[in-house]
Amino acid sequence: MRRDNAQNNHEFRGLQRLFIPPYLIVLLAESLQAPFLYVLYHSYRFIPSQIAALHSTGLFACMIVSSLSNRLIRKYGTRSLCLLCTSTAGVACLLKFSSSFLLLFVSRLLDGISAALVTAAFQEWYAERHITRMDFPPEWIEATFAKVASGAALGAVLAGWIAQMVEGSTGVIGMPFAFSALLMVAAGFLIGSRWDGGKPAAVDAPATLSFGKELSILLRQPVALVLSVITVFCESALQIFIFAWSPILLKSKAIEGENLGFGAAYACLMAFALVGALFFHSPPARGIPASRTLAGALMGSVLALFLTYKHLPESSLHWKTANFQWLLLTFCAFEATVGLLSPALAKLKAELTPSLGRGSLTNIPVTVIASAAIILLHPMGDAQRSLVITALCLLIMATFLAILLDLVLASRGGDTQRPLSLSQPRPVASHPTVHQTPSQG
């Protein structure tokens, strides 16, 4: 059955209307926080090492909860965890109005919890009703999450402008977080009043693989191992960039006195990411193998970050000579390549390693690499250059591996449909990745 058959099914469209609006509200609320998170900590006069510690706290909390998400879902059910996601996110937003480092530390812990659950709990809730409760064809899942991905991308662009207007009209940097908390309350109300409870009816082996079993699968299939290493390098570089772009533009506003809005800048970044994602799904790109698209996008990302590095001054004393317009342009170019490589990487993972689920194993090195770079490099005098060059090195290594992967898959005649798994993968493993730049990590 094709997607057009799915859209003609009244019950299926009803399930979409039940699931998509609350989920998009949650994703919009998260995106509202991204432009001003670093700026908020800076306004509280925290030193760079403190800001780096707060950011890394969210990353580690997200990693821990992500690794436990399947157990939590089996024990408490998806609806309860979805409500927990909105509750923790709302409380975290309110705590950000305090300048106490301890309360902000707690806020980042809650951020990490909500960031982990916003993917696991919501997608599991939908998958269980789609497959088990209503017995729809598994391939129809793609139709739902294609809508979610499109809505989330547009919502991220909109969130940047909303955050800019809210902050600009009130003059309060924390006001976008208050608006985000209101949206979380609204989403929680919709979930609590309209969604049913229950636990997944069937949880098979691939959803609960231990780290040891996941690693054994990767070691037995070198192609999957290479893809996982590429994923680690790409996501680590992206996490570093997510942290680095705000302080770079913050120096622009402080030194040149430009009326540069962080919400507007974020909206531009997300708009270019959307352009990249749209190109991936365009007719000209559909005939290109995902591995080749990934390699090409990584080459573009390396070029974009190299230009970013070239336009960064060598010393903090020379910041006034930096061309910040060029920096913003290179940021946008980088996000365009991310918008292209993210769906390509997700497609390859769904085809080559479906039994590994959400990639809980790769979350560990991503968190360690990104956090180590942020904690060790951000307090340095030339922190921005050091962070950018670190992300650049990670992407260069990912590019070489992506070229190797493309050559190997091309030698197979383009056959990527030979994954190594312990049993039949769950349909949830094929969910498309929703690309976004989260504030929580």
The pLDDT of residue 301 is: 98
Delimit the CATH 1.20.1250.20 region(s) of the chain.
Answer: 1-204
The pLDDT assigned to 205 comes to 39
User: What pTM value is reported for the model?
Assistant: 0.88
Domain 1-204 has CATH 1.20.1250.20: yes
pLDDT for residue 1: 44
SS (H, E, C) the chain: CCHHHHHCCHHHHHHHHHHHHHHHHHHHHHHHHHHHHHHHHHHCCCCHHHHHHHHHHHHHHHHHHHHHHHHHHHHHCHHHHHHHHHHHHHHHHHHCCCCCHHHHHHHHHHHHHHHHHHHHHHHHHHHHHHHHHCCCCHHHHHHHHHHHHHHHHHHHHHHHHHHHHHHHHHCCCCHHHHHHHHHHHHHHHHHHHHCCCCCCCCCCHHHHCCHHHHHHHHHHCHHHHHHHHHHHHHHHHHHHHHHHHHHHHHHHHHHHCCCCCHHHHHHHHHHHHHHHHHHHCCHHHHCCCHHHHHHHHHHHHHHHHHHHHHHCCCCHHHHHHCCHHHHHHHHHHHHHHHHHHHHHHHHHHHHHCHHHCCCHHHHHHHHHHHHHHHHHHCCCCCHHHHHHHHHHHHHHHHHHHHHHHHHHHHHCCCCCCCCCCCCCCCHHHHCCCCCCCCCCC
In the prediction, which pLDDT does 55 show? 97
pLDDT digits (tens, 9 = 90+) for 148-157: 999 999 999 9
Q: Give residue 203's pLDDT.
A: 44
CATH number of 206-425: 1.20.1250
> What confidence score (pLDDT) does residue 349 get?
87
pLDDT in tens, 270-281: 999 999 999 998
- Output the pLDDT for position 260: 65
Spell out, as residue ranges, where the chain has pLDDT lower than 70. Answer: 1-7, 198-212, 252-260, 315-322, 354-360, 413-441
pLDDT of residue 439: 46
